[in-house]
């Protein structure tokens, strides 16, 4: 087997093993599926009430678009939103120390490990969302196969960015004893900026600021591509890709500096 193929294979196998591990218990997905369904139902009622009171469109979105926007925007949050807890637990328990002495890219291995299981969960949630959306708002407004592929690719980029940002936050444990607060702040900003509401619903000034942050790439981009695919969609994908590259560089840097600070005392 080619040397480079052998090198790449380890990450594929890691993703596969992680996926199998996730499948060990059928009930693993039950809680996120139930919460996701409840959120979709509640927000579909809210949007119905909002549009009944305010008119057919707000900032270019109608009721159906808003419901579908929410369904797609929540997929990265539910499907890829839990990496931090596993990583932080490994850091606090000292388990991370025992994962260092292996011939792999630590960031790459954890990416494969995290994404292997998360992709499956995100896929299941997306299928659930499409089913519920069809019942509550009518068919997903997809116009072409290109749009479908763009949405799926955008979700993959959103998931990757979620992983990388959460990885960087988890690695702050090299310097801070308790870093859950950082994740909490990150999570809440991500929720407000583009997940619960499209960015266009924010005040002008806030929109200008958030467009310079990675937050729109976490949920807004795939949701926008799903409900308003157009000439500007390519730019959103490029923006997401750029943030993924930048976040990967930050992770490598943070981990590279932080690994020398590991203080795993005792046996």
Partner 1 sequence: MTAIRVEGLSKTFRTKTKAEGFGASLRGLVRPRWRSVDAVRGVDFEVEEGEVVAFLGPNGAGKSTTIKMLTGILVPTSGRAEVLGIESASRRARDRVRLARSIGAVFGQKSQLWFHLPPSDSFRLLGAVYEIEPAPLARRKAELVERFGIADYMDVPVRKLSLGERIRCEIAASLLHEPRVLFLDEPTIGLDVVVKREIRGLLEEAAKRDHVTIFLTSHDIGDIEKVCKRAIIIHHGAVIVDESMKELKHRALAKKFIGVKYTAPANLDLPGLKPLKRTEDAARFEIDTRVHRIEDVLRRLVERGEILDLTVEDESLENIIAEIFTSRSEEDARAASRARPTSALGPGTDSGGGSSDEPGGAP
Q: In the bound complex, what is the minimum distance in angstroms from residue 174's beta carbon to partner 1?
A: 12
Q: Residue 110: which of 156, 154, 158, 160 has the closest Cα?
A: 160
Question: Distance between CA atoms of 249 and 261, rounded to whole angstroms?
Answer: 19
Do 47 and 66 meet the contact criterion of CB atoms below 8 Å apart? yes
Of 95 and 235, which has the nearer Cβ to partner 1?
Answer: 95
Of 141 and 258, which has the nearer Cβ to partner 1?
Answer: 258
Q: In the bound complex, what is the minimum distance in angstroms from residue 264's beta carbon to partner 1?
A: 6
**Contact positions toward partner 1, by CB under 8 A?**
1, 3, 6-7, 9-10, 12-14, 17, 20-21, 24-25, 95, 97-98, 100-104, 109, 177, 256, 259-260, 262-267
Residues 6+ apart with CB under 8 A from 20: none
Phi-psi region of 265 (alpha: psi -120 to 50; beta: other; left: phi over 0): beta
Of 22 and 46, which has the nearer Cβ to partner 1?
Answer: 22
Question: Distance between CA atoms of 167 and 170, rounded to whole angstroms?
Answer: 5
Do 250 and 164 meet the contact criterion of CB atoms below 8 Å apart? yes
Of 6 and 205, which has the nearer Cβ to partner 1?
Answer: 6
Q: In the bound complex, what is the minimum distance in angstroms from residue 102's beta carbon to partner 1?
A: 5
Of 25 and 212, which has the nearer Cβ to partner 1?
Answer: 25
Q: In the bound complex, what is the minimum distance in angstroms from residue 122's beta carbon to partner 1?
A: 20
Q: In the bound complex, what is the minimum distance in angstroms from residue 124's beta carbon to partner 1?
A: 18
Distinct helix (H) and strand (E) counts, the chain:
12, 0
Do 11 and 112 meet the contact criterion of CB atoms below 8 Å apart? yes
């Amino acid at each position: 087997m080619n040397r480079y193929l052998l090198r790449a294979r380890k990450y594929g196998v890691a993703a596969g093993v992680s996926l199998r591990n996730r499948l060990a218990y059928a009930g693993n997905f039950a809680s996120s599926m139930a919460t996701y369904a409840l959120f979709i139902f509640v927000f579909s009622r809210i949007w119905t009430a909002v549009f009944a009171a305010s008119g057919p469109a707000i900032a270019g979105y109608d009721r159906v678009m808003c419901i579908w926007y929410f369904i797609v925007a929540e997929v990265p949050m539910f499907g890829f939103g839990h990496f931090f807890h596993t990583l932080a637990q490994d850091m606090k328990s000292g388990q991370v120390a025992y994962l260092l002495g292996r011939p792999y890219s630590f960031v790459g291995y954890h990416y494969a490990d995290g994404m292997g299981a998360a992709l499956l969960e995100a896929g299941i949630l997306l299928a659930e969302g499409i089913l519920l959306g069809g019942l509550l708002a009518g068919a997903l407004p997809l116009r072409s196969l290109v749009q479908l592929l763009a949405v799926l690719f955008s979700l993959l980029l959103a998931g990757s960015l979620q992983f990388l940002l959460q990885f960087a936050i988890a690695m702050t444990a090299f310097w801070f004893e308790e870093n859950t607060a950082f994740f909490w702040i990150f999570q809440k900003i991500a929720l407000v900026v583009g997940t619960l509401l499209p960015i266009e619903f924010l005040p002008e000034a806030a929109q200008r600021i958030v467009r310079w942050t990675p937050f729109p790439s976490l949920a807004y981009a795939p949701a926008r591509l799903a409900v308003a695919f157009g000439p500007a969609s390519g730019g959103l994908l490029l923006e997401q890709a750029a943030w993924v590259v930048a976040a990967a560089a930050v992770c490598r840097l943070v981990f590279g500096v932080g690994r020398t600070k590991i203080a795993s005392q005792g046996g």
